[in-house]
Amino acid sequence: MKNKQLTRERQQAIYGILYILPSFIIILVFCVLAIALAMYFSTTDYNLFKAPEFVGIQNYLSVFSSSTFWDALANTAKYVVITVPIQTVLALLCAVFIAEKQRGRYGSLLRSVIFIPMIISQIAAAAVWQVMFRTKGGIINEFLGLLGIAEVNWLGNKTLAYICVCIVTIWKNVGYYLVIYYAGVMGIPKEQQEAAIVDGASPWQRLWYITIPNLKPISYMIVTLGIISSFQIFDVVYQLTGGGPGTATITIAYMVYSFAFKNQKIGYASAIAVILMVFVLIIHWLQDILFKERKS
């Protein structure tokens, strides 16, 4: 009997290993191995056409002495500060509104409409918005012309171009976080809301004292995902502005692409990628200390 039980346990163990093996291989190749190679190439002079030549920390010194890198870092940081809070708050408010006011057919339709941008690829979404932001013949400027407002150079002005990148990203991400928040709101016990209504609490008071506290774990996850996603912003910048005008919208991720595939400086680009990874880890660590609830 014991032998049969051991045989079953071994079979279950083998089946378990076989189930996780594909995911393990993918993570090993595209995460662990990729990080290891990036760290290695970051210490070399490598351009795809010659063998890597070890240069130590020279690439890192060059990155930190580059004004373009500091522009990209500043743009990325501002991008995180602007987009993450706005898309988080919008997603929360939309989720609460749909959960309380539009639970029926119209609520499902509204959730689907808001979620649709998330299904569209970043490049396709940015291409559509690029047409809308055109100075000549752009949909937005055509509409402003009907109101008697002069044409606006949306993507040619440094400040406006940056705002446009933020708008496209927020528009695309809100639907995804809305669905997560909606599931959380629907999981809040109805008794709490009903008791608050009996006590005369306003909708804003119920939101502040009941909904938001119950959604803290979800909010922490959404903010974390938003920060990581914002630090990796590339597609929208690539299609919408190309990092311009000048370096007004260049980000660290776009800088990695530019040096790796335009200038064939793989070692230099790898150093930037490693620095980006370290920044993300540090910010996540700080966020974990400051905001994550700790169980006593």
Q: What residues contact residue 28 under an 8 Å CB cut-off, 6+ apart?
A: none
Residue 66: predicted pLDDT: 92
Residue 4: predicted pLDDT: 59
Residue 72: predicted pLDDT: 93
Global pTM reads 0.84
Q: Give CA–CA dist 227/221, Å, rounded.
A: 10
Residue 161: predicted pLDDT: 93
- 44 strand-pairing partners: 54
Residue 74: predicted pLDDT: 93
User: Quick one: which of 139, 90, 91, 73 has its CA closest to 276?
Assistant: 73
pLDDT, mean of residues 199-214: 84
Residue 283: predicted pLDDT: 84
- Max mean pLDDT range (59-73, 144-158, 282-296): 59-73
Q: Give CA–CA dist 51/45, Å, rounded.
A: 8
Listed by start position, the domains of the chain span 69-291
Does the pLDDT at position 32 exceed 90? no
Q: Give CA–CA dist 83/128, Å, rounded.
A: 20
pLDDT, mean of residues 244-267: 90
Residue 295: predicted pLDDT: 43
**To which residue do tokens 């595209």 refer?**
30
CATH code of 69-291, in short, is: 1.10.3720.10
Cα angle for residues 274, 279, 282 (degrees, 5° grid): 125
In this structure, what token pair is assigned to residue 257? 């692409």
